[in-house]
Structure 1
Amino acid sequence: MTTRDSDGTPPAASSRRRLGPLVCGRRSKWIVLVFWLVLLVVAFPLSAKLTGAQDNDTASWLPGSAESTKVFEVQQDAFQTGEELPAIIVYERPDGITAADQQKAAADARAFAGVEHVSGDVVGPVPSEDGQALEVIVPVDPGDGGWFALGESVDEMNDIIGGGPDGLNAYVAGPAGVSADFADAFEGIDGTLLYAAMGVVIVILLFSYRSPVLWIIPVFSAFTALTAAQAVVYLLAEYAGVTVNGQTAGILLVLVFGASTDYALLLIARYREELRRHEDRHEAMAFALHRAGPAIVASSATVAVGMLCLMAAEMNSTRGMGPVLAIGVLIGVTAMLSLLPALLVVTGRWVFWPLKPKFGSVEPTERGFWSRIGRTIAHRPRTVWIGTSLALGAMALGLLSLNTGVIQNKDAFIDTPASITGEDALARHFPAGTGSPVIVIANAPESDAVRQAFADTNGISDVTEPTPVDNGLVYMEGTLQAAPDSPAAQDTVEAVRDSVHAVPDADAQVGGNTAINLDAQNAASRDSAVIMPLVLVAVFIILMLLLRAFVAPLILIATVVLSFAAALGLSSLIFEHVLGFAGVDTGFPLFVFVFLVALGIDYNIFLMTRVHEEAKQHGTRRGALIGLAATGGVITSAGLVLAGTFAVLATLPVVAFAEIGIAVALGVLLDTLIVRSVLVTALNLDIGRFIWWPSALSQRHEPPAAVVAEEPGEVPEVPRPVR
């Protein structure tokens, strides 16, 4: 027996205890704590600058090798337009535009020229053929301000158009108007997500720990990790050329906070176990780090490697996300294996009040809920895993109704902002493609042939005369007859490409907003085909190294893929029949896949490393029950935390974020409550020691002791591992 926490230096401990002195020793814990507090003070002001360092320019999102990207670059170089987007102000009076309306629109047009960031001549007012509407086109270049500068300009325009004649409706629409509404949706995203995530985590931790104090330590540690991660990412974005946009910054916050809290839960659970076996808290933490550390490191490595696989993407926005998220996860796990242990040993047992783990007391998980679940599964494991697999497969059938592809602007918001109302008004009175032309560049000598091919394409009207630009190229625009964000418009772009590419020696290339969306969709499809297998291979290798087996990693990968398919299928049904969403973006399956495979495998790692540990002493079947009983509660809490933090993405008024948050949250819950607890446990029990093939553990025969009670109501004691 060691001396009590409050007494002097305890006697020498075993060699395994020596694995933790760097972070939880009697003196080193204070050094670690001071280091992280100093780092927090330094990192906090840097993390606040991350929003300003974001690159939300068009080029930061586009696939680098796409045709539309090349056109965009030529357009910028030739006309020095930067990120110019047109704002289209539409004035509508259903019973006919009056002279006063025309005077109002003309006066507004003159005022628009003085709005900040307006970068060219204001066109209009132009009357509609039906006489019920007017439009004014205002070119806006936000410059370095990005989306938020567009919002400022659109706000000024809204101030100008306000207060018109009675009965005249006016809206700021077009690409600039829609982009400004997206900017409003993302404004304050970091604060919204952080407070929502913290609220969810605090509630779950209060329920899990039933302590009014303990939750503060993991939340503070996760907040410190997030602050440090944001500061490092800011420095990389500012000085190392790493691309960070609004989407990446939002997911970074959710991922780091959620994953860090998960790692904290696992370590705290093992620490609480060891406090019942070791009287000295420093020794208990050393053992907890020794036992839980490998699983936590392997889990974070899996997530980081999964994120790094995104660097194989063609989409710039997806490729830039990879290193940013990997850095965040690695900083998070570093904090959870250093700052968190230091805080826990500094505070001592009292922090668990009122359920303080007493030295020598019985581990409650030995006769808890998950122990009973395990014994129930053990009676008919094959029936359980086959039935569970069929149920998950039935959920996956929802994939048949998953609508991926073009999401129109009107379907991209949870609500209906003014720009979308304006888009509808434009579509009623003007050619649908007004303000978002198809752009063609080609070699000057072939300009007439290219223009003719362009103009003859079905779906195109009003092709402009070729304008010479640099390097012997010409530039021309054509108006789409279909709405620029519709599938019909993308079909027209493909037809234009077929037509102008057929002109000999023209080297024609097609761009514009619709072409950009089409190229992004094609790149997202390619990225899914490349990255999904890459993630599976990387995760499989990590699992083989961790478990020193081939069969177990193969089975775990299969269960997570099945869980992903079920989550996606169930999400599809919810999106369509409950929430009324029009569909999902082409890149949606890839993001959900990477997050669910990388994060979902975490829970299997937590479970299987414990099963592997116990199987060495008790055999695989008995080890499976001990592992489930010991890890069931903490993994359930961890799953609820991660699902909750991703679910807060649904608080944003943007459909794409809500869909990712809902799908990942559903997938994590499936992994936590069904795949890990039921399916994997049943497979462990049915396959037995052969699950560890070809390692030496697969050659050991199962102990003769019974795995389950003879009677369903009997509760056999789960043996405590020998220390």
Structure 2
Amino acid sequence: MHRQIAGSLTGPVTKWIVLVAVLLLTGVLGYLGSMLNDVKDNEQSSWVPASAESTRVADELSQEVSPNDIPTLVAFHRSSGLTDEDLAAMDEQAQQIAEIDGVTSAGVLTPNAAAALREQGQPAPDLMSEDGEVAFMYFTFNMGSEGWNKIAEPVKEIKEITAIDGVDVYVGGFGGQAYDFVNSFDGSHVRLLLITFGCVILILLFTYRSPILWILPIFCAAIANTMAGGVVYLLAKYAGLIVNDQSQYILSILVIGAGTDYALLLVARYREELRRHADRHEAMAFALHRAAPAILASAATVVVGLMCLTFADLNSTASLGPVLAVGVAVTYLVMVTLLPALLVICGRWVFWPVRPTFGSAEPTERGLWARIGKRISVRPRSTWLATAGVLLVACLGLFRLDASGLSTEDSYTEKFDSIVAQELLNDHGLADNSNTVQVVTADDALPAVQDAVAGVDGLGEQTEPTSLGNGRSYFEAPIAADISSETAFDIVESTRTAAHSVDGAEALVGGGAAFYLDTKTASLRDNKVVIPLVLLVVLIILILLLRAVLSPILLIGTVVLSFGAALGISALFFEYVFGFEGSDAGFPLFAFVFLVALGIDYNIFLMTRVREETQTRGTRPGSLVALASTGGVITSAGLVLAATFLALATLPFVFLVELGFTVALGVLLDTMIVRSVLVTAINLDLGGKIWWPSKLDRDPVIEAPDAVGNREKVSV
């Protein structure tokens, strides 16, 4: 039945129908995908779970303090000291800034204005340092729910307005951070795609040794990326799926990498069948019949593994799973419809200059991996024990991995204006008024809560309480620390401890630093929940696919070992080579999901071929044939995927640099060592036992190698 379906997709007439249908659908989805920016949600508050204390505070303050408020500041620095003319210029600039669309009616508070309020006996923050070198103005943006996406233009206007000769000016606060985040992605999507496609093209040229063949996989990967963007747009627009810049970038990388992997497997099998069949349509029918189930199993495993992310507490993580799962599903459909159609339309000449002619010998039978397989077969047990030992040693690097989180300054590989602004305020003893704790409490407990919180070190002067109605009030206090630093987290936790200690107050503590703390807490929880869930799901899929129990358990063990080694080596590079201060709390989960979900591809590519060959040759000779046939494909696929993820290192975010490096390293370990050497050695050592409790290859056999490394199975 599979072969009939495969043949119906690539027949002399249907191949053209498939081509036209896919191209028409691409046009529609491409148009929709072009509007993806309109539905992105980069708002920070959308990332944390609804149960988080900072989210509950935001909900209670929604009538008084809009969740769309973006506190922003502009820091001014003159090393010789700011002059009266500088301060006067700030007052004039404040009037212009107040007229910008999105600046709230509260206007702009400047150092002179704050001083005037204090002279009148009204509370006002100190906006100028004691040494007179640094001052800042403070205001709030509110441009509705899309404000985080629209922040770029008004901030650019502010940068032009606030220019003063001899004075360094930096936009900071939440507004400055949002601008730097969005602006750092500006134009980088196209650049990232160009880098990714460039790397993939070079690898395909080396793999295929054809100046033509690489065009088809690349074209299909581009089509898949376009179609995936359209489907994601529809889900974001009408199904509430959260999409942000980060998820879009990872989506493109994953689609291109996974699509090229699937193409490599299909093209390799098609080339085999072209040597066995005179008619290319028949050859493709057999190739698709043999390769499509492995590709489907691989794609389904990745999709299900990614969907496990929906069980995460962190909204940004939970929403990433469906976005990427859609991309992989679309990629699978493109690669088993459009690519086969294009291959049979083009004919054998597309493999030029080395065309696979009917009846010619299969080169993989005496290739590099066939020779490696022979060497492994001499001492398989020693081989897998030594390999596993080396990987275990690499896992020791995990003791150097610090995934407790990163401060704002340490989260970027470049020095953005918002970071410099924060450093100036910290170095000159000024509190960032955009970084506060927000305390909500019952009215009758308000004085007690204020007194309890007043004793927390690191908090500035409290604001006047504001009544929220329903017997609730709130007040704020600035935090004298970077918003995402451990110092700020300690202050938030101390504030929560103090506020929660007041009986009957039902006090809640939120704010910017509390948001980051709750994000970290949710990430640590997700690591403990999602990672075991992904392992369980992958194990079940492998059991169903291979119809065995022992081999899936062994494969999961190699996955965990490979992941640990990749993370351990990466941790050493992060600390001693790159000089990073640590890792984001969510980094281990993302690295695990990508390495396991993608690494399982190579397990499936190899083991489905082992199972296929076992039915006619036996497990040990079948393992050697499978390695010889798929080793080159798996290696090329690993290089492609490593190159695509390594492209993330071009972005100025420590999280993405670390993720790209770790996934690239892990994929290379997986393809060149774990799958091809470790797994093959285990198969050769255990033989038919790996299929327990299946009846496959239970008969004792004598296996004698022939001249090309194939073996005959003879029952005794």
Q: Is 1:439 the counterpart of 2:425 in the alignment?
A: no
Question: Which residue does the alignment assign to 2:144?
Answer: 143
Residue of structure 1 in register with 2:99 after alignment:
114
Partner of 1:689, secondary structure, is helix
Q: Please tell me the residue identity of whatever aligns with 1:25.
A: G
SS of the aligned residue for 2:131 comes to coil
Which residue matches 2:62?
A: 76
Compute the displacement of 1:141 (Å).
2.2
Q: In the TM superposition, what are the counterparts of 1:158-173 in structure 2 within 5 Å? A: 158-162=159-163, 164-166=164-166, 168-173=167-172
Partner of 1:303: 302
| d(CA) in 2 for partners of 1:152, 1:444 | 41
Give the whole-Å Cα distance in 2 for the aligned partners of 1:149 and 1:75. 23
Q: Give the distance between the partners of 2:2 and 2:40, measured in 1 at CA.
A: 45
Deviations along 1:423-467, one digit per CA (max 9) or x if unpaired, are 211112233443201111111221111111111122222011211
Aligned runs of 1:151-190 on 2, under 5 Å? Answer: 151-162=152-163, 164-166=164-166, 168-190=167-189
Structure 2: 5+ residue stretches without partners: 112-126
Partner residue in 2 for 1:271: 270
Q: Which residue pairs with 1:5 in the alignment? A: none
Q: 114-123 vs 691-700, which deviates more?
A: 114-123
**Normalised TM-score (structure 2):** 0.95
Counterpart of 2:79 in structure 1 is 94
User: Hey, what's the Cα distance between the residues in 2 that align with 1:146 and 1:21?
Assistant: 52
Partner of residue 7 from structure 2, selected from 21, 45, 48 = 21
Residues 655-666 of structure 1: matches in 2 within 5 Å? Answer: 655-666=654-665
Q: Please give the alpha-carbon distance, in whole angstroms, between the structure 2 residues aligned to 1:356 and 1:557.
A: 38
**CA–CA distance in structure 2, aligned partners of residues 254 and 99 of structure 1:** 52
Q: Deviations over 1:551-589 (max 9, x none)?
A: 000000110111111111111111111111111100000
Deviation of the 1:98 alpha carbon: 1.7
Q: Could you tell me how far apart the structure 2 residues matched to 1:76 and 1:490 are?
A: 23
Aligned-partner residue type, residue 618 of structure 2: G
Contact 1:55 1:146 in 2 (8 A): no
Are 1:260 and 2:245 counterparts?
no
Rounded Cα–Cα distance in structure 1 between residues aligned with 2:353 and 2:286? 24
Match of 2:681, SS state, is helix
Q: Distance in 1 between matches of 2:529 and 2:484?
A: 27
Partners in 1 of 2:76 and 2:310 — Cα distance?
A: 46
Distance in 1, Cα, partners of 2:7 & 2:485: 61
Q: Structure 1: give runs of 5+ residues left out of the alignment.
A: 1-14, 710-714
- Indicate the residue corresponding to 1:7 in structure 2: none
Provide TM-score, normalisation by structure 1.
Answer: 0.94
C-alpha distance in 2 between matches for 1:690 and 1:620: 9
Give the secondary-structure state (helix, strand or coil) at the position aligned to 2:9: helix
SS in 1 for 2:132: coil
Residues 91 and 105, structure 1, Cα contact 8 Å, conserved in 2: no
- Does the C-alpha gap of structure 1 residues 122 and 306 become closer, same or farther in structure 2, counting only changes over 3 Å? same
Distance across 1 between alignment mates of 2:365 and 2:451? 79
Moved more, 417-426 or 566-575: 417-426
What is the DSSP-based 3-state SS (H/G/I as helix, E as strand, rest coil) of the residue aligned with 2:27? helix
Structure 2 CA distance for aligned equivalents of residues 555 and 362 of structure 1: 34
Deviates more, 1:104-113 or 1:562-571: 104-113
SS in 2 for 1:138: strand
Which residue of 2 is the match for residue 504 of structure 1?
Answer: 503
**Mapped partners of 2:544, 2:484: distance in 1:** 47
More displaced 10-residue stretch of structure 1: 555-564 or 183-192: 183-192
Runs of 4+ in 1 over 4 A off after TM superposition: none
- How do 1:349-364 and structure 2 match up within 5 A? 349-364=348-363
The alignment of Structure 1 onto Structure 2 pairs a total of residues equal to 697
- CA–CA separation in structure 2 for the residues paired with 1:470 and 1:38: 57
- Summarize deviations over 1:608-657 as a string: whole Å, max 9, x none: 11111111111111111110000011111111111111111111111111
Matched residue of 2:73: which SS? strand
Question: Does the 8 A contact of 1:72 with 1:511 survive in 2?
Answer: yes
Contact preservation (8 Å) 2:617, 2:712: no
Paired with 2:2 and 2:246, the residues of 1 have a C-alpha distance of 43
Whether contact under 8 Å (1:101, 1:165) holds in the other structure is no
Give the aligned partner of residue 122 of structure 2.
none
Query: Which residue is 2:131 aligned to?
Result: 130
Quick one: which amino acid aligns to residue 533 of structure 2?
A: L
Q: Deviations over 1:630-687 (max 9, x none)?
A: 0011111111111111111111111111111111111111111110111101111111
Counterparts of 1:29-40 in structure 2, within 5 Å, are 29-40=15-26
Query: 2:541 & 2:438 partners in 1: Cα distance?
Result: 47
Report matched runs for 1:383-532 at 5 Å. 383-532=382-531
Shift of 1:719: 6.4
**Aligned partners of 2:208, 2:28: CA distance in 1, in Å?**
32
Amino acid at match of 1:718: N
Distance (Å, rounded) in 2 between the aligned partners of 1:719 and 1:39: 48
TM-superposed CA distance for 1:187, in Å, is: 1.7
Q: Which residue of 1 aligns with 2:703?
A: 705
Give the RMSD, CA atoms, in angstroms.
1.6
**What's the CA shift for 1:410?**
1.1
What secondary structure does 2:577 align onto?
A: helix
**Letter matched to residue 631 of structure 1:** T
Q: Is the 8 A contact 1:17 1:283 kept in 2?
A: no
Secondary structure of 1:90 counterpart: strand
Q: Which amino acid aligns with 1:74?
A: E
Is the CA contact (8 Å cut-off) linking 1:211 and 1:352 kept in structure 2? yes
* Mapped partners of 1:272, 1:534: distance in 2: 38
Q: What percent identity do the matched residue pairs reach?
A: 50
Aligned partners of 1:395 and 1:566 also within 8 Å: yes
Counterpart-to-counterpart distance in 2, 1:645 and 1:228? 19
Q: What is the CA distance between 1:601 and its match in structure 2?
A: 0.9
Contact 1:64 1:315 in 2 (8 A): no
Partner residue in 2 for 1:682: 681
Change (3 A) 1:719 1:351: farther
Question: How far apart are the structure 2 equivalents of 1:547 and 1:20?
Answer: 22
> d(CA) in 1 for partners of 2:712 and 2:184?
53
> 2: CA distance between counterparts of 1:332 and 1:165?
54
Which whole-Å deviations, capped at 9, do the CAs of 1:328-366 have from their partners, x for residues lacking one?
A: 111110111111111111111011111110100000000
Cα distance in 1 for residues equivalent to 2:29 and 2:8: 23
Kept in 2: contact 1:260–1:333 (CA 8 A): yes
Distance 2:487 2:432 in 1: 11
Partner letter of residue 282 of structure 2? E
Q: CA deviation at 1:144?
A: 4.0
Q: Aligned partner of 2:330: which letter?
A: I
CA distance in 1, matches of 2:617, 2:141: 70
Query: Do 1:122 and 1:138's aligned partners in 2 also have CA atoms closer than 8 Å?
Result: yes
CA contact (8 A) 1:451 1:466 kept: no
Partner SS state of residue 704, structure 2: coil
Q: In the superposition, relative to structure 1, how do residues 432 and 682 fare at CA in structure 2: closer, same or farther (>3 Å)? A: farther
Q: Do structure 1's residue 41 and structure 2's residue 27 form an aligned pair? A: yes
1:361-387 deviation digits (Å, cap 9, x = unpaired): 000000000001111111111111111
Q: Give distance in 1, aligned partners of 2:183 and 2:345.
A: 44
Between stretches 466-475 and 438-447, larger displacement belongs to 466-475
Partner of 2:115: none
Whichever residue aligns with residue 389 of structure 1, its letter is: A
CA contact (8 A) 2:624 2:709 kept: no
Distance 1:663 1:146, change over 3 A: farther
**CA distance in 2: counterparts of 1:385 and 1:474, whole angstroms:** 65
Question: Contact 1:189 / 1:250 at 8 angstroms: preserved in 2?
Answer: no
- Matched to 2:703, the amino acid is A
In the alignment, which residue of structure 2 is the partner of 1:633? 632
How far, CA to CA, are the matches of 1:608 and 1:343 in structure 2?
A: 28
Native 8 Å contact 1:444 1:472 kept in 2: yes
Please tell me whether the aligned partners of residues 648 and 656 of structure 2 are also in contact (alpha carbons under 8 angstroms).
yes
Give the aligned partner of residue 315 of structure 2.
316
Change (3 A) 1:399 1:432: farther
Query: 1:483: how far off?
Result: 2.7
